[in-house]
Amino acid sequence: MPWARAVDVPVDIQVALAAAAHRLGPLGATLFYYPSVGSTNDIAMRLAMAGADEGTTVIAEAQEAGRGRRGRTWHSPPGSGVYVSVVLRPRRFAPQVTLAAGVALAEGVSYATGLLPQLKWPNDLMIGRRKIGGILAESQTPETLVLGYGINLRSAVYPNDLAGRVTSLEAELGKPVDRGLVVAWTLAFLATRYGELQQGHWDAILERWRDLAPGSRNGVVEWRDGNVVHRGTTHGVDDSGRLIVQSGDALHHLVAGEIRWL
């Protein structure tokens, strides 16, 4: 049901957003909340194309057609996570928004729960080798970007191909997590890091991303170039945020395309 009717924002989220209001800027000033949708990114994009203000935010408890990079399904069962999409209109550095968002979400989760995720290039939040969240940035015009993210709050029954590769905040912490705090502080830190990006402070954001992504070095990845599959060892990211991979004697600088971490 991609265009469900929005309902009143739950009290826990209202209270947390009010407490973080001094950090939110325009994010969440216009807010649509849904118990379940097809995809929060789809709704946010529809709003963006209709002229919605920057910072317009869509939140759902479940997605029936959530997706990740390259159209992959993002498993979004009811009650297990929170799914958020924000309308952004970046003046510059749009390719770096995903990495800046990764930093912001890790910091926001840490502030709300005490648990600091690590980052896996280009768009995953990890606890050890298990995924706890992900980011998807989509655009239909050069002026508009919809940034979506999902955070696993509670344990759920996952498909066999995901079991063992995902986790949740409550599973890692061994105690309940305040959903409202996770929503409010991920948005607050996103507002901060996005503002820094707009002001030209990419170097500081990239340095923090590297701190949070130790696995971006000495990992093994595969990627496809036409019909050829390459394999190499990662050497971090360059100053524009591209993944550096050595394959044989050659260094490759990969954008956020199709790679597979081994």
What is the average pLDDT across 4-12? 87
Confidence (pLDDT) at 2: 43
Distances (CA, A) of 214 to 127, 217, 224, 237: 12, 6, 24, 11
Distance CA 40, CA 195 (A): 23
Locate 125 and state its tokens: 């939040």
- Would you say residue 1 has pLDDT above 60? no
Average pLDDT of the chain? Answer: 90
**pTM beyond 0.95, yes or no:** no
Pick 225 or 53 by higher pLDDT. 53
State residue 194's pLDDT score.
96
pLDDT value for 60: 93
Higher pLDDT, 46 or 6: 46
What are 63-93's pLDDT values in tens digits? 886 555 555 555 566 778 999 999 999 976 6
Q: What is the arithmetic mean of pLDDT over 170-180?
A: 96
Is the model's pLDDT at 29 over the cut of 70?
yes
Q: What pLDDT does residue 64 have?
A: 83
- All domains of the chain, ordered by start, with CATH? 11-212 (3.30.930.10), 216-261 (2.30.30.100)
Mean pLDDT for 101-119 is 98
* CB-based contact 15:180 (threshold 8 Å): yes
- Give yes or no for residue 170 having a pLDDT over 50: yes
- Could you tell me which residue, 138 or 163, shows the higher pLDDT? 138
Q: What angle do CA 230, 125, 61 make, to 5 degrees?
A: 125
pLDDT tens sequence across 40-51: 999 999 999 999
User: What mean pLDDT comes out for the span 143-164?
Assistant: 80
CB atoms within 10 A of CB 245: 23
> What is the chain's alpha carbon radius of gyration, rounded to the nearest angstrom?
18
At 197-215, the pLDDT tens digits run: 999 999 999 999 999 999 8
Residue 259: pLDDT band (50, 70, 90) is confident
- C-alpha 136: how far from chain center: 6
The rounded distance, in Å, linking the Cα atoms of 148 and 58 is: 9
